[in-house]
Structure formats: C-alpha cells, structure tokens
A and B are shown apart, each in its own frame.
Chain A
Amino acid sequence: MTVIVEVYARRLFGPAVIVALALIVKGYVDVGDGFSAGTIVGLAVALQYVARGRQRAETAVRLLHLAPIGAVVGLIGAIGVGFLGILTGEPPFTHAPAPGAKVIRVGTLELSTAVVFDLFVFMLVASVLIIIIHHLATRSRGEER
C-alpha cells in the first residue's frame, strides 16, 4: 500500500461515518436508511483494514473490538423496539407516535420509534460487517501465509 492510500484512508474514515449518520438522520424523509448507513460504516472500516493492515487498523480505531457486543445489542434492541407494542396490547411493529398524533421534532429530525428501530438495524449491520471483515483479515495458526 502506498503512503497516499493510507493517508486518504485515514482522512476518509471520519467523513464516511458522518455520511452514514446523515443517512440515518434523514433516512425517514429522504433516500437512505439504517441498512445503507451500516454498510457505509462497514466499508469505511474495510478501507482501514486494506490500507493499514489489521493490527494498525484495530489499534487506531479502538471501538472495533466492541462489534460482537454491538451486534447483540442491535438485535436485542431491534426486537425490543419492534415488540414494544404488545405490552399495551397492540400488534408488533406498531410505532409511536400513532398516525395523526403530534411528532416531537429536534430541528428537522422527527423522533419516532421507527427511527430508533432503524438505529438498531444500523448498529447490527455495521457490527456484523466489521465482524466478518475482522475474521477474514485474521489468520488462525497453521494457515498458510
């Protein structure tokens, strides 16, 4: 890998994460959703692995080793949000606020449980991709170099 690639990879990581976050934030009114945001983060991490090697990528981005936890939290969170409705006797994936009800806005972002669900999907997708990349980049002992 040339130095140029490595420098670009390092510089691109932050913007890629910002793009991903932007996709989720505006996902509900515009193109993009948790799945594509998670994939973008996965690609950004993959670029780090390609450019800097597993060891350096994982020491540079300390959070990576939390990916298995992230996947589990994402899955449980998504199930939790999805089935929240049955506690009040409603079918699963009944999102709050209900149709017609008033939506809480933070700037242009509209808060709803559907967006929270999307966030958990994002977490899971990003984590799963990071886990797969990590495993592909790690060689177990006895494997031919």
Chain B
Amino acid sequence: MRRDSALPWVSVACAATAFAACLVGWRLGDVAFDIAWAPTLDLRIDFALDGLGALYALLATGIGVAVFMYGSAYLPRHLAKARRPQREASRFWPWMVLFMVAMVGLACARDLIVIFVLFDLTAIASYFLIGFDRERVRARGAALMALLITGVGAVAMLVGAVLLYQRHGTFSLDELIERADGGGATTVAGVLIAVACLAKSAQVPLHFWLPRAMEAPTPVSAYLHSAAMVAAGVLVIGRVHPLLQRSELVLDLLLIVGLASIVVGGLLALAQDELKQLLAHSTISQYGYVVTLYGIGGEAAAGAAALYVIAHAIAKSALFMTAGAVTEATGRSRLSQLGGLARPMPVLAAASLVAAATLAALPLTLGYFKDELFFAAAHDEGGFVAVMAVVAAALTFAYIGRFWTRLFLGPRRMRPRPIPAMLYVPVVLLAAVSLAGGVAVGPFAALAQDAAEITHGGPVELHPAYHVNGGAENIMTLAAWGLGLALLLMRQVRRPLTVGLARLGDRIGPRTIYRQSLHLLNVASDRIHAEEVRDLRNSIAAVIMPGGILIGIALATTLTGDSWDIGRVRLADIPVLALMALVVVAGIVAARDRGHVRIVLSLSLVGFGLSAIYALVGAPDVALVAVLIETVASLVFFAVLARLPRRTRTAGLVVRPARPRRRLRNPVIGAVSGLAMFALVWASLSNATLAPGDAQRQIELTPEAHGGDVVTVILADFRGLDTLGEITVLTIAAIGVATLLRRGRLW
C-alpha cells in the first residue's frame, strides 16, 4: 500500500485503539500516573483518567474515529480539487493525530502547567490544520487569527496559574482546590483562567476567530468544533470549576458571557447562508449553553453541562460532515443554492435529520436529555435565566431547522453527483449513537455523572429520563419548540433582526478591533525592526544601550557612596596591572584601526591578556577555557575574513562619513554602555567578600560528589542543567552557521 493511502487508516486505527483503551481505563477506574519531573519548581506530570478526563478522552477518540474515516475519503478529493499532490496528506494526518493526543492529554491533565502546555499544543495543531490550504491567503490569516486569539488567551491562564502558585505554593489542581480560599488572588486567577478558556471556546466577545476558521478542510472543522480545540475551553473550565466557584464574580462572568454567546451566536447563525458558517455560529451558541451552566454552578448544572458536551459533539460533527458531503456532491456550499436533496440522498438526509434533532432536543435522541437537564438547572436558578434558556433553545431549534429543511426539502435545484460511501457512513454511525442514547440514556448519563463529580467537587446524582408530568421542564421544552417553529416560519420578522446584527458586528464588532490592533502592531514592529537591523551598529546598540541604561538605573538606586573603593596596589598585583594596560591598549587599537587583520589580532590580544590574568589570579580552569576559546574565535574570525570578497578584503575597513545627525551616536552609545559596565565591575569588586554563600557550599560539597576539581563538578553536577542548556545553544549555533553559509546543509 502506498504511504499516503495507508496514513488515514493508521490514524483511524490509532483513534480506535485509544478509544477502546480509554473505555477500559474508565470502567476499571484509578488509571493515573504522577511524576515529579522538576520537584524544585514543583512541576509534576500528573495525569488521571477520572470521570471528566474519560468523557473528553472518549469524545476526542470516538469522534476522532468517525472524523478520520470521513477524512480518508475527503482529503484525496480535497487535494485533487486544488491540484495538489496526494503526498501532501502527510502534512495533514500527523497533525490530526497530534490534535487528538493533545486533547486526550489535556482531558486527563491535573497540573496547571501541564494543562497550559497541552492547551497550547491543541492551538498549534489547529494552526497547521486550519492553514492546511497554505497557498490561500484567507486560510493563512484564519490560522493565524485562531492561534493568536487562543494563544494570547492561554498566556492569561499561565499568569493565573503563577498567581495561584505564589499564593498556595503548588500547581497541582487537587492541592489548589484544597488550599484555595475565596480571596482576591483566587478571584483574579480564576478570571484569568476563565478568559483563556472562553477565548478557546469562542465565546463572545472573542468568538470571531471561529467562523473564520471555517477555511479549514471539513474534517478539521468537524473535529475542531465537536471534540478538540473548542471543547478544550469548556473542558478546562469543567476541570478548574471547584476553584472558580469560590468566587461569585467568576460565576457571574461565566453566566453573562454564556448567555451573550447563546444569543449572539444563535442570531448570527440564523443570518448565515453558507453551510459551514451557519454551523460555526451555532457552535458559539452551543458552547454558550455549557458556559452558562458552569456559571449557574451546582450539582444539576454540572451534570447538565457534561451531558450537553456529549450530545453536542456527536450532533455537531455529524452536521459538519453532512455539510461537507453535500458540498462534495453538488459543488455548492450555500443554503440559497441548495434544496430538495432528501430524494437523491435519502441516507444522508435521514442521518443528518437525527443529528439536527439531537441539537434541537427532539425526543428519541440523546439531545432531548441535554435540554431537559439544561432547563431543570435554569429553572432552579430563577426567572431571567429560565426565560433565556427557552429563548436559547428556540434559537437552536430555528437555525438548525432552517439548516436541515433548506438543504433537504423544497424544490430540487440540481442533480448531485455520487459520492464515496465513506463520506456519509460516519454520519450514519454518529446518528445511530445519538438514537441509541435517546432510547437508553444510561451509559451516557453514567459518564456525564462521573464527569460532573469532578466539576462539582462532590457527589452528583443524574437521572435523565422522559419525565412527562407537566412539570416546569416539560412546559419549557414545549415553549421552546413552539417559539422555535414560529421563528423558523416567520421569515419576515427574523430577517431584519439577524441581518442587521450581522452588519453591525462587521462594522464595530471585535473582529474589527482585532484587525486594527494587529495592523498597528505590525506597523510598530516593522518600524522598530527596520531601525534595529539597518546596520550592524544599530543591532549592537539595541543590545548594549538598554543594558547600559538598566545597569545605570540599578546602580543609581541601590548603591551608596562607600561602594566605591579603590583599594591598595600590592607588589604581586603589578603583572596583573601590566596585562590590564596591554588589554586597554589593544581595545583602543581595535576601536580605532581600519585594517581587518589588525582589528582581529588586537581583539585576540584582549582575550589572551584576560586569560593570562585569570591564570595569574589562580583560576586555571577558567584560564584554560579562555585560551582555547580565544584561539577558536580568532581562527573563526580569520576564516570569515577569508570569505569576504577580494576587493573588500584588500581595501580595509571603509568608513562612510556619518550623517551629521548621527555623528554623536556611536560615542554616546559606547560611553553609556561602557561607563555602566565600568561602574558595575567597580562596585561589585569593591564589595567582594567571600560570603559563606553558594560558592563556599559548593567547594565543601565537591568531595561528596566524588570530585576534586570544583569547576568541573559545578559544570557536570551542581549546575548540570545549565550546562545542558548551554550545549543546546551551541547546537543551535551550529545549525545557524549551516543555515547562513550552506542553506541548512548539515555537512
């Protein structure tokens, strides 16, 4: 089998195996591991397949199986349409699998730093997947927007994590939940973490990246919306909820943002003509439900949120794949150009009807229970939220009804081409799962209950069933259906409202602010960059000038008069002084001379002079390394000089006459940084005392480390991690040289 035809099936097998493993792990219980990989920083790799982890891991892998199957048929057609070679599939599948792995890891992570890393890993995978059609500007822009909005949001989460660590001394969620109080720091950290999650879950006002992300190939959209990227936001809220609920403020924020997202997303979804755009706005609204439930808080809401995520993931991925299949069959992607497809595509129509019914919460599907629990939680919260819940459900009913009826009913506009079975089999599979959930909700309820216990931080009883008893939930359900049907039928009332909102959003919405700020940022960055790299002197000044100013400020604010000690000159110091004088002379020569070779020679004289001083003051290790490095540096300098064009090489250093404005620049920059360094060295040598600090301790510990040479033991043992960092930099430098001189050839 060729590699690009094997890849999708390997991916499907990965997902299926992972799904089975997660299922077994969840049933067995207590699957966890916890490694303290950097105990001095309190960092742990802490994963557990608890209820919440199992729910999202099962979604990521289970929906993954369906989406990957679909992708196996979709991607070859997608590539053929863009006239791209089939081997580009290898740019797709590894990212999809990484997306899944990151999501499963995130689902099980219980340490804030690990959560942050995996959170960003999903963003990175989504960046490459949204921008898969990289020759299109819109796809690249959409990928960057998704990465920026969710990535910058994630930084807020990191700040929140560090705040919590400062206060409670741990990144571990379990310990944090135990220790955290309802104080100010917890609230601020909670808001920051919530903002990151809301950006990820595309909630108002940071929702605008999600519709743009529809530039992605359909399997990516289906996966991103249902079980991966966007789900990651509500997953983390569900995970940290016991912390968030310490503060009423955070819960209120979630409630407001969730309700706003439901309404804005729902109204905008009603206005959309393009299939994937409609579904994208629907996702904003649907995750708004979940965020609202988390904002309500408590046992019932936690259970409802968990079940909601399951039902939504199944329905939304099926609907996206339906949209993709329809577009593949007809070549069209707008509701206004489609219609009457039920007769030529009966299987797809039936399967997507089930998916739409799941979202619209009709009985006999898993979706019915999600709304039942949602209404129950909203009803307990009080009048306003209950009314909003009915409005939300009505909006969902209306836009998803519009989606299905406009696609499959009405007059037939065109004759669809036959499509591979693999483009609708996954939809049928997901529809079957939803129907099974509608008949026997037990297993889904058990999973949701386990997850809700983590979110709620206590035991949760969840009993979804068809309660037909004329209770509040029944009335709310009927009201939602009736209102939804009315919205669906009354086109004249609906249109001005929704289209008006969409126009308004385009003109003054947050997307405009994003675009403007990105533009300004780009202009500013271009200006600074152009100034910095204009010539070599500017590049150097950009480093030494701020350094000098900072040192100057530090010295001026911390040191007093007695820090400036000249000291006495002893007889033994005379060789050192002579060497220093030599170094000074060599330094002046290097600054004033115009010949290339003389400059290099005087620079090495500076280096060797300093090495000799090290040897004289009794630091043989440092002296040895300094001599060796000076030799290497001089050699490399000469080798680089030899590569200069012959004319430049023989003419010596050509100094262009400086413009009058810049004539003072070099002396000023040199003086500021030089004087600052001079003052720094003087001050630190004046205060040099052999404090019983680190140095003393390391000398004492060296025999214990089975060594005789303190410097070597420090390098290899006490400060081994630093050495590792330094040799990594060395490797990167070698790659840099290879890139500059040989276009990246390593040999």
| B709 & A28 in contact (Cβ 8 Å cutoff) | yes
| A128 & B707 in contact (Cβ 8 Å cutoff) | no
A42 closest partner in B (C-beta): B632
| B709 & A99 in contact (Cβ 8 Å cutoff) | no
| A75 & B727 in contact (Cβ 8 Å cutoff) | yes
Contacts of A71 in B (CB 8 A): 731, 734
Contacts of A138 in B (CB 8 A): 741-742
B329-371: which residues lie under 8 A (CB-CB) from chain A? none
| B721 & A68 in contact (Cβ 8 Å cutoff) | no
**A100 contacts the other chain (CB 8 A):** yes
CB distance from A112 to the nearest CB of B (A): 6
For A90-124 the 0/1 string (1 means CB < 8 A from B) is 01110101011001000000101011011001001
| A29 & B721 in contact (Cβ 8 Å cutoff) | no
**A40 contact from B628, B639, B731, Cβ within 8 A:** B628
| A33 & B711 in contact (Cβ 8 Å cutoff) | yes
Contacts of B738 in A (CB 8 A): 131, 135
* Given contact pairs A33-B711, A136-B639, A92 touches B720 in the complex (Cβ within 8 A): yes
| B621 & A32 in contact (Cβ 8 Å cutoff) | yes
| B707 & A33 in contact (Cβ 8 Å cutoff) | no
* Given contact pairs A35-B625, A103-B706, A110-B706, A86 touches B37 in the complex (Cβ within 8 A): yes
| B717 & A93 in contact (Cβ 8 Å cutoff) | yes
Which candidate, B121-129, B584-592, B640-648, B680-688, is the interface stretch facing chain A?
B640-648
CB distance from A7 to the nearest CB of B (A): 20
CB distance from A79 to the nearest CB of B (A): 7
* Given contact pairs A30-B708, A35-B625, A118-B712, A82 touches B720 in the complex (Cβ within 8 A): yes
A110 to B723, CA, bound (A): 21
* Given contact pairs A36-B628, A68-B747, A29 touches B742 in the complex (Cβ within 8 A): no
| A140 & B742 in contact (Cβ 8 Å cutoff) | yes
| A99 & B636 in contact (Cβ 8 Å cutoff) | no
| A86 & B35 in contact (Cβ 8 Å cutoff) | yes
**B743 contacts the other chain (CB 8 A):** yes
For B678-716 the 0/1 string (1 means CB < 8 A from A) is 000000000000000000000001001111110111011
A50 to B635, CA, bound (A): 10
Contacts of A46 in B (CB 8 A): 632, 635
Contacts of B711 in A (CB 8 A): 31, 33
A110 to B738, CA, bound (A): 38
**A89 contact from B36, B38, B708, B727, Cβ within 8 A:** B36
* Given contact pairs A42-B632, A78-B724, A29 touches B38 in the complex (Cβ within 8 A): no
A124-145: which residues lie under 8 A (CB-CB) from chain B? 124-125, 128-129, 131-140, 143-144
A140 to B739, CA, bound (A): 12
**B639 contact from A67, A112, A137, Cβ within 8 A:** A137
B24-56: which residues lie under 8 A (CB-CB) from chain A? 35-40
| B715 & A33 in contact (Cβ 8 Å cutoff) | yes
**B624 contacts the other chain (CB 8 A):** yes
**B664 contacts the other chain (CB 8 A):** no
**B737 contacts the other chain (CB 8 A):** yes
**B631 contacts the other chain (CB 8 A):** yes
**A56 contacts the other chain (CB 8 A):** no
A58 closest partner in B (C-beta): B747
| B35 & A91 in contact (Cβ 8 Å cutoff) | no
| B737 & A131 in contact (Cβ 8 Å cutoff) | yes
**B746 contacts the other chain (CB 8 A):** yes
Contacts of B705 in A (CB 8 A): 95, 99, 114
Contacts of A39 in B (CB 8 A): 625, 628-629, 632
| B724 & A82 in contact (Cβ 8 Å cutoff) | yes
**A114 contact from B35, B620, B701, B717, Cβ within 8 A:** B717
A95 to B716, CA, bound (A): 9
Contacts of A79 in B (CB 8 A): 724
A31 closest partner in B (C-beta): B620
**B728 contacts the other chain (CB 8 A):** yes
A99 closest partner in B (C-beta): B704
CB distance from A5 to the nearest CB of B (A): 15
**B730 contacts the other chain (CB 8 A):** yes
CB distance from A75 to the nearest CB of B (A): 5
For B638-659 the 0/1 string (1 means CB < 8 A from A) is 0110010110000000000000
| B724 & A132 in contact (Cβ 8 Å cutoff) | no
B640 closest partner in A (C-beta): A136
Contacts of B625 in A (CB 8 A): 35-36, 39
Contacts of B37 in A (CB 8 A): 86, 92
**B597 contacts the other chain (CB 8 A):** no
| B731 & A75 in contact (Cβ 8 Å cutoff) | yes
* Given contact pairs A30-B708, A91-B40, A114-B705, A65 touches B716 in the complex (Cβ within 8 A): no
* Given contact pairs A36-B628, A65-B747, A97 touches B636 in the complex (Cβ within 8 A): no
Contacts of A118 in B (CB 8 A): 712, 715-716
**B712 contact from A27, A99, A139, A143, Cβ within 8 A:** A27
Contacts of B742 in A (CB 8 A): 135, 138, 140
Contacts of A95 in B (CB 8 A): 705, 716-717, 720
CB distance from A82 to the nearest CB of B (A): 5
CB distance from B615 to the nearest CB of A (A): 11
A117 closest partner in B (C-beta): B716
Contacts of B717 in A (CB 8 A): 93, 95, 114
A135 to B745, CA, bound (A): 9
A131 to B734, CA, bound (A): 7
CB distance from A95 to the nearest CB of B (A): 5
A5-48: which residues lie under 8 A (CB-CB) from chain B? 27-36, 39-40, 42-43, 46
Contacts of A50 in B (CB 8 A): 635
17 cross-chain CB contacts under 8 A: A27-B709, A28-B712, A29-B708, A31-B620, A31-B621, A33-B712, A35-B625, A43-B628, A91-B40, A95-B705, A117-B720, A117-B723, A131-B738, A135-B738, A135-B742, A136-B643, A138-B741
Given contacts A92-B720, A128-B734, A134-B747, list 8 more A-B pairs with CB under 8 A: A28-B712, A65-B747, A67-B747, A68-B747, A78-B727, A132-B733, A138-B742, A140-B742
